[in-house]
A and B are shown apart, each in its own frame.
Chain A
Amino acid sequence: EAGVTQFPSHSVIEKGQTVTLRCDPISGHDNLYWYRRVMGKEIKFLLHFVKESKQDESGMPNNRFLAERTGGTYSTLKVQPAELEDSGVYFCASSQVTGMISPLHFGNGTRLTVT
């Protein structure tokens, strides 16, 4: 089966610009997560979708970040306007059932650089 795919793999934008990251989860996975790793630190939870509904968005840094999952398939994460501290690697993950019986499957990430 195809894994979690993320696009683009790299993005370099200037401060104040907008960037949209895309994630395609594994087919049939209802749970979709966004995580971020900044400057070699810990991987931090951003939010969790169950199908098209936001289950938990407690990790979203601020209202410059907007995540959507229309139709319960792929998801997008938009940063508008981007700031320097938004630089990092954004990971998407999916799982088939809620809970840890099915570990999260991660994509390769999008490396975002804001200059």
Chain B
Amino acid sequence: DQQVKQNSPSLSVQEGRISILNCDYTNSMFDYFLWYKKYPAEGPTFLISISSIKDKNEDGRFTVFLNKSAKHLSLHIVPSQPGDSAVYFCAATLFSGNTGKLIFGQGTTLQVKP
């Protein structure tokens, strides 16, 4: 049973507009969430994270929102740039478990059109 789900396999947006990537999770014990970005033939690279004690974390053009009651998080990219085109993975973990084991979603392929 998949504990982290990204229900949109792909997303296409125009350069300069907002990209919103969504992620749902089922395990209420998860207390730390991350987004990774992956380019073809490369490994995932860390983008941004959020602890369950917060509902928002911002880093430049990237903002992650967490809605614990809905078990939902989203990544906003504003403004979107063609270089943002990649696969985005949502991941969750038990920070208190302190193991670094991540549970990933299936990924969403973002295409930003010039």
Q: Chain A residues in contact with chain B, CB under 8 A? A: 4, 9, 31, 33, 35, 40-45, 48, 55-56, 91, 93, 95, 98-100, 103-109
Residues from chain A with a CB closer than 8 A to the CB of B103 are 45
Count of residues in B whose CB is under 8 Å from the partner chain: 26
Closest to B104 in A: A43
Give residues in B with beta carbon < 8 Å to A: 2, 4, 32, 34, 36, 41-46, 49, 89, 91, 93, 95, 98-107
Decide: A104 near B105, CB < 8 A? Known: A4-B43, A43-B44, A91-B44.
Answer: no
Least distance between B29 CB and chain A CB atoms (Å): 14
Q: Are B106 and A42 in contact (CB under 8 A)?
A: yes
Q: Which of B36, B43, B99 has the most CB of A within 10 A?
A: B43
Q: Which residues of A contact B105 (CB under 8 A)?
A: 42
Tell me if B44 and A48 are in contact (CB < 8 A): no
Chain B nearest Cβ from A24, distance in angstroms: 13
> A109 to chain B: closest CB distance in Å?
6
Inter-chain contacts of A98 with B (CB < 8 A): 98-100
Whether B89 and A43, one on each chain, are in contact in the complex, defined by CB atoms closer than 8 angstroms, is yes
